[in-house]
Amino acid sequence: MKHGKILVVDDNQGIRSALKLLLTPQFAEVQLIASPKTLISTMESFMPDVVLLDMNFYTDINTGNEGLFWTSELRKMYPDVQIVLFTAYADIALAVEGMKRGAFDFIVKPWDNEKLIATLRSAYEATPKAKMPQVKSDSIMYWGNSQQMQEIRHSLEKIAPTDATVLITGENGTGKDVLAREIHALSSRRHHPMVCVDAGAITETLFESELFGHVKGAFTDAHADHVGKFEQANGGTLFLDEIGNIPLHLQAKLLRVLQNRTVTRVGSEKQIEIDIRLICATNMNLEKMVHDGHFREDLYYRINTVQMHLPPLRNRAEDILPLTELFLKKYAVKYHRPVETISEEAALRLTSHAWSGNIRELQNVIEKAVILSEEKALLLKDLSMNTPAKATSTVSLTLDEAEEKTIRDTLSRCNGNLSMVAKELGISRPTLYSKLKKYGI
C-alpha cells in the first residue's frame, strides 16, 4: 500500500511531467502546481504531507528568493508538513539557508531518482500523521541462490529480532540500504519509524542540527524548533548510511549520543532520552581508517556489535539472471512493455559483465533495456552497458574535455554519490559543484 501525499511546486513543465511519472507509483497521492501563487489554496484543499518546493520562480519576494520566503511561511502556517527544497547546484547555499528555516532536506537538480524518492519518504515518515506501512509477509530482500547470501540470510534471522547494533559493509550498489530495511522489517520495532540518513551528504555546519535537532532562536533564522533524526527515529530504527564520511571531530559528538542515549538540541540544555536501534553502512574499510587515525576506534566498536558484509555481484554470478528476471517483470509492468523473457545472447552478455556498480547497475541496465525493447524477448541490442575504451583509440582530448570525462566517469563509478566523487577526485564539494555547473552535468 502506498502512503503519503506529495505536493510539487515547480514552474518547469518538463520537470513537473517527469516528477508526475516518477512519484505517482511511489506515493498515495501526488499533485503538481506551477506557481506558489496558488500554494496556500492548494495546501488547504489537498492537505499534503510533504511539499517539494522549487527555490526560484519568476519573481523575487522580500528575501530575494521565493523558496526561502515560502519555506518560512509554510513552517509558520503548517508546522506538521515537511518541506523538501528543490534547487540547482548554484543555489546550494540558499538550500542550506532554507534548512535553517525549517526545511526537512534539499534535492539538487538534476536529481537522482532513488535519492529523491528516499528523501520524500523520509520526510513523510517524519510527519506526525505518518502511518507506517504494514510489514509484508514476503521478504523485501532478494536473497538469491549463492551460498554467501544464504549464510547472510541465516545470520539475519538470528540478528534481526534483537536490538543489536549492526554495521553493514560492501561496495556501492550491493543493497546495503535494502538489507537495513529488511532488518527493521523483521525486528520488534517494525511498527515504528525507520529514519534513513546519508551521513556523507550532511554538511559539517548542519550536522548537529540535522541529527540532534535545534530549538527556535538557536541561530540566525532558526524560526522554529527542529526535530533531529535521532528523535524522529525514537522507538524505531536509525539507519546511518555512509558513516565513514563523517569527519573525525564530529564522530566524538555522535559517540557521546550513542553512549548516553540522550540528545541535546542545538541551543538547548535539556537532555532528551532516545530509544533507537542503530544500523550503519559503509563502503569504506573502517578498520584501516581506524589504523590510519581517520575513524575513532571507540566509535568503531560501538557501531560494530554485529557486522554483515554484502558480497559484490561479480562474486555471485549465479544470482545475475534471477535478478534480471525480477527487474524485467517489474519494469515490463511499470512501462507497459510486452517483454517477457531474455534472449540467450543478452543473457550471456549479462553474465559475462563485470558489474562494477553491482545490483544497482544491473537494475539500471534492465530498466533502460525494457524501455527500449520492442519484442517479447529482451535482445542484445536493447542492452546499454558501459565498456572499457579500446586501447587503439587515438582521439586526443582538450584539458577541459579530459576533466569533464573524468568527472562523468567518477560520477558513474560512485553512482552519483557526490561526497565520494569529491573525495576520489581530491577536491572539495564546492569545487565539485562548480565543475558540475561548468560542464552542465
CATH number at residue 432: 1.10.10
Q: Is the pLDDT at 414 greater than 60, yes or no?
A: yes
Average pLDDT for residues 273-296, to the nearest whole number? Answer: 95
Q: Which residues in 374-402 are b (16+ Cβ under 10 Å) and which e?
A: eeeebbeebbeeeeeeeeeeeeeeeeeee
- Among 11-25, 52-66, 200-214, 274-288, the range scoring the smallest mean pLDDT is 52-66
Residue at 319: amino acid letter: D
Per-residue confidence (pLDDT) for residue 3, from 0 to 100? 81
In a domain, 102, yes or no: yes
Residue 131: which pLDDT band, with cuts at 50, 70 and 90?
Answer: very low
pLDDT at 1: 60
User: Could you tell me if 50 and 170 lie in one domain?
Assistant: no
Tell me the pLDDT tens digit for each residue of 287-326: 999 999 999 999 999 999 999 999 999 999 889 999 999 9
Looking at the domain assignment, is residue 137 inside a domain? no
On the question of pLDDT at 128 being above 80, the answer is: no
- In percent, the amount of the chain with pLDDT more than 90 equals 55
Residue at which a domain ends, from 261, 287, 309:
309
Judge if 302 and 275 occupy the same domain. yes
Domain boundary among 357, 382, 407: 382
Note the pLDDT of residue 379.
92
In the sheet where 50-54 sits, what is the strand order? 29-33, 5-9, 50-54, 82-88, 105-109
CA distance 31 to 185: 29
pLDDT at res. 64: 44
Query: Does some domain include residue 393?
Result: no
206 and 260 inside one domain: yes
3-state DSSP of the chain: CCCCEEEEECCCHHHHHHHHHHHCCCCCEEEEECCHHHHHHHHHHHCCCEEEEECCCCCCCCCCCHHHHHHHHHHHHCCCCEEEEEEEHHHHHHHHHHHHCCCCEEEEECCCHHHHHHHHHHHHHCCCCCCCCCCCCCCCCCCCCCHHHHHHHHHHHHHCCCCCCEEEECCCCCCHHHHHHHHHHCCCCCCCCEEEEEHHHCCHHHHHHHHHCECCCCCCCCCCCECCHHHHCCCCEEEEECHHHCCHHHHHHHHHHHHHCEEECECCCCEEECCCEEEEEECCCHHHHHHCCCCCHHHHHHHCCEEEECCCHHHCHHHHHHHHHHHHHHHHHHCCCCCCEECHHHHHHHHHCCCCCHHHHHHHHHHHHHHHCCCCEECHHHCCCCCCCCCCCCCCCCHHHHHHHHHHHHHHHCCCCHHHHHHHHCCCHHHHHHHHHHCCC
**CB–CB of 215/268 below 8 Å?**
yes
| CATH code of the domain covering residue 344 | 1.10.8.60
Q: Does any domain span residue 141?
A: no
Q: Which CATH number covers residue 265?
A: 3.40.50.300
Supply the pLDDT for residue 96: 84
- 293 and 170 in a common domain: yes
Exposed, middle or buried: residue 117 (CB in 10 Å: 0-12, 13-18, 19+)?
Answer: middle
- 335 & 416 share domain: no
For residue 63, what is the domain's CATH number?
A: 3.40.50.2300
- Do the domain assignments include residue 390? no
Confidence band for 63, pLDDT divided at 50, 70 and 90: very low
Least confident of 328-337, 355-364, 394-403: 394-403
Average model confidence (pLDDT) across the chain: 86
- Please give the pLDDT value at position 395: 41
Q: Which amino acid is at 349?
A: R
pLDDT value of position 423: 76
pLDDT of residue 353: 92
CA distance 322 to 149: 14
Which range (73-82, 117-126, 363-372, 432-441) has the least confidence? 432-441
Pairwise CA distance, residues 244 & 284, whole Å: 6
Domain of 420, in residue numbers: 399-438
Residues 286 and 164 grouped into a single domain: yes
pLDDT tens-digit series, residues 336-394 = 899 999 999 999 999 999 999 999 999 999 999 999 998 999 999 999 886 543 333 33
Is there a single domain that holds both residue 269 and residue 325? no
Q: Phi/psi at 435 (nearest 5 deg)?
A: -70, -35
Select from 309, 340, 360 the last residue of a domain: 309
The count of domains in the chain is 4
> Could you give phi then psi for residue 251, rounded to 5 degrees?
-60, -35
More confident residue, 426 or 217: 217
Q: Does 388 map to a domain?
A: no
Q: Domain check: are 197 and 280 in the same one?
A: yes
What's the pLDDT score for residue 390?
34
Whether 314 is covered by a domain: the verdict is no
238 plus 272 within the same structural domain: yes
Looking at the structure, tell me whether residues 181 and 93 fall in a common domain.
no
Position 135 in a domain? no
Q: What is the pLDDT of residues 244-270, one digit of tens each?
A: 999 999 999 999 999 999 999 999 999
Amino acid present at 7: L
Same domain, 220 and 182: yes
CA nearest 342: which of 381, 316, 291?
381
306-309 and 82-88 beta bridge pairing: unpaired
Checking if the pLDDT of 18 tops 80, the result is: yes
- Number of neighbouring beta carbons within 10 Å of residue 354: 13
Q: Given this model, what pLDDT does residue 439 score?
A: 75
Q: Is there a single domain that holds both residue 169 and residue 280? A: yes
Which of 32, 20, 85 has its CA nearest to residue 54? Answer: 85
